[in-house]
Structure 1
Amino acid sequence: MKQLITFIVTGFLLVGAFGCEEAAKNTSETPKTTDKTINSQTKPTTIPAASTETKAKTETQKNSVGKAEVDLKTTVSKKLQAGLPGNKLEVENKDGEIIIKGTATSQEELKKAEKLVKEVKGVKSVTIEAQVKATNKP
C-alpha cells in the first residue's frame, strides 16, 4: 500500500513538473500586461495582427467607396447635361451630398437642376451654390 501511495504522489509530481514547463513555454507567446492591479477575473484582450487578407479587404473597401463617389458624380453630371444641355454647372460629391456650383442662366434652371439631381439613386441631399447670371443675347 505504501508503494502505491508513493507511486501516485510521484506521478502527480511528474505531471505537475511537465505542466509547469509547458506553461513556461506558453507564457513567452502571450502578451504581457503592465498593469499589476488586474484582478483574477479580468483577462487581457489580445488583438491579432492584420493579415494580408485583411489589408486587401480594407483597400478594396476604400477603393469601392472612392469609386462609388466618382460614379455618383459622373451619373449626376450626365443627368444634368441630358436635362439641361449647355449648362455651366459643376458637380461635387461628398458622401452622397451633391453640391452644384457654377453659373446658371435663370433661377428656373437651378430648380430644374436640383430636381434632376434628386432623381439620381444614391443622392442624399442637394446643395445649390451656383449663381444666376443672365446671358447677354445680341
Structure 2
Amino acid sequence: MKKSIILIFSSFLFLGLAGCDTFRTATNAPDRVTDEVQAPTAQEAQDAQADATSETRRRQLDADIQAREERNNLLNDGAATNRSDSDLASQVRSKLEANLPASALVVESENGNVTISGTVPTQQQYERIPNLAKEIKGVNNVTLNVAVAPAQPEN
C-alpha cells in the first residue's frame, strides 16, 4: 500500500513537471542554459538567499529529492542508469538551491549529462557546483556556464 501511495504521488508530481524542461534555483535565474548570464541585483540575491535558507524551503527540497529517489528505487530498481532527465535536473537543482544560497542557476539534463548556467556570488560556491551535482545518482557529466557575479546595486 505504501509503495502504491508513493507511486501515485510521484506520478502526479511527474505530470505536473512534464512540461518543464529546465529547473531554476531562483526566479531571476536564466530561462535556459544557453541564455546570457547576468549578475543579480542586490534585492534579487537577498530574496534568493532568504528563500534557499528558509527551513520550510529546505524541507521541500529534501522531500523532492527523496520522492524522486523513491520513485527511481521503485520503478528503476534503484539504478543510476535510465533515470529521467527531468528527475536528474530537478534533483540537481534542489541540491544546488539548498547548498548555494543567493545563486541564480538553471539546470538541464540530457542522458545523464547535466548543464548548469547562471550566477553564484563567490568563487567558493562556483567550485562546489560539480561535486554537488555529481552527488545525484545518474549524473555522468557536468558542464558549467556559470559566472561568479556578486550582486549589483540597483540603480
Between structure 1 and structure 2, the one with the greater Rg is 1
Higher RCO, 1 vs 2 (CA within 8 Å, ≥6 residues apart): 2
Q: What is the TM-score of this pair, normalised by structure 1?
A: 0.48
